[in-house]
Structure 1
Amino acid sequence: MKKIVNPWRGVEGYRCYGCDPNSPQGLRMEFYEDGEEIVSRWQPRPEYQGWVDTLHGGIQATLCDEISSWVVFRKFQTSGVTSRMEVRYLKPVHTSDDHIVLRARVEEQRRNIVRIGVRLFDGRGELCTEAVCVYFLFPKEKSRTEFHFCECSVEEAEG
């Protein structure tokens, strides 16, 4: 796996709830490329509970949505917006787990519409949540001029 470089790190005004590494309240997600998949290993925190020791379903949905956007950034080298999302909660995710793993990949593309499948696994590797995110891709020029997207690359060293 290779770590994906965050192209917005250090950009003035960048405060993404999902991936800003300096956001005290945010999720601070990091992403890796593993073949066709984008992967994130994330540590749940107690402040993201819905019920005692249970990761809030809205946080799970946000994690799935965020990794889907990174599939778009890396695999299509542009940005976009979520147009639809469906989440299936299969098992509880515990905030006491030392980590969870998300894996996402492109399932289908039709012109500028992309369907991305996401799987969320608990610390024991059990599938807990599945999501399908449908993304509308921006033209690359719009992505550069309006959203400061330049390139989504990976670090040279293996992660």
Structure 2
Amino acid sequence: MKKIINPWRNHPEYNCFGCCPDNPIGLHLEFYEDGDYIVSKWNPQHNYQGWVNTMHGGILSTLIDEVCGWVVTRKLQTSGYTVQLNVKFKKAIPTTEPELTIRAKVAKQVRNLVYINAEIVNSKGELCNEGEAIYFLMNQEKAKEMGFLHCEVEDE
């Protein structure tokens, strides 16, 4: 796995809840490229519960949405936004879970829409959540206008 270099890190208005390392209430996700997949590891916390000792579904949906966004950033080398997000909650995730693996890859692309499949797996390797996101892809000119130039991995 190769660590993805965050292309937004020097943007003056960057404060993403999912991936900005400086957002005090954010998830601080980092991403890696592993073949066709974009992968992140994350440790649940008590403050992200919905029900007692159980992860909030909105936070789990955010994890899926965020990794899908990074598929667009790295694999398609552009920026975009979520058009649709569907999440299946298959197994409850306790806030005490040691580590989650979130991963996603492109399923198909139709013109400026990309369909991305994602999943969240617990530390035992059990599938807990599945997701499908549809992202609208910005053309290179619009992506550049938004501050995106390219996304690289370390040692590239």
Paired residues in the alignment total 156
Determine the structure 1 residue equivalent to 2:11: 11
Aligned to 1:155: 154
Task: State the 1:10 CA deviation.
Answer: 2.8
| Cα distance between partner residues in 2 of 1:103 and 1:78 | 19
The alignment status of 1:136 with 2:136, answered yes or no, reads yes
Q: Equivalent residue for 2:61?
A: 61
Question: Could you tell me how far apart the structure 2 residues matched to 1:50 and 1:122 are?
Answer: 17
Deviation readout 1:72-102 (Å, 9 max, x if unpaired): 0001110001101111000001111121001
DSSP 3-state at the match of 1:33: strand
What letter matches 2:3 in structure 1? K
Q: Which runs of 5+ in 1 are unaligned?
A: none
Residues 7-31 of structure 1, C-alpha deviations (whole Å, 9 max, x = no match): 1113211100010011110111000
For residues 40 and 78 of structure 2, the distance between their equivalents in structure 1, rounded to whole angstroms, comes to 19
Cα distance in 2 for partners of 1:49, 1:96 equals 10
Shift of 1:134: 0.3
| Matched letter for residue 148 of structure 1 | G
Given residue 6 of structure 1, which amino acid in structure 2 is its aligned partner? N
Query: Which residue is equivalent to 1:124?
Result: 124
Q: Which runs of 4+ in 1 moved over 2 A?
A: none
**Residue 103 of structure 1: SS of its match in structure 2?**
strand
Q: SS of 1:86's equivalent?
A: strand
Please give the alpha-carbon distance, in whole angstroms, between the structure 2 residues aligned to 1:121 and 1:52. 20
What letter is aligned with 2:44?
P
Instruction: Measure the CA separation in 1 of the matches of 2:95 and 2:149.
Output: 35
Output the TM-score relative to the length of structure 1. 0.95
Which residue does 2:100 correspond to in 1?
100
Distance 1:3 1:14 in 2: 20
Counterpart in 1 of 2:51? 51
CA deviation vs aligned residue, 1:19-69 (integer Å, no higher than 9, x gap): 001111011100000000000001111100001111100000011000000
| Backbone CA RMSD of aligned residues | 1.0
Tell me the distance in 2 between the aligned counterparts of 1:131 and 1:70.
Answer: 14
1:107-133 per-position Cα deviation (integer Å, ceiling 9, x unaligned): 011111100000101121100000000
Return 5+ residue gaps in structure 2 as ranges.
none
Q: What secondary structure is seen at the aligned counterpart in 1 of 2:155? A: strand
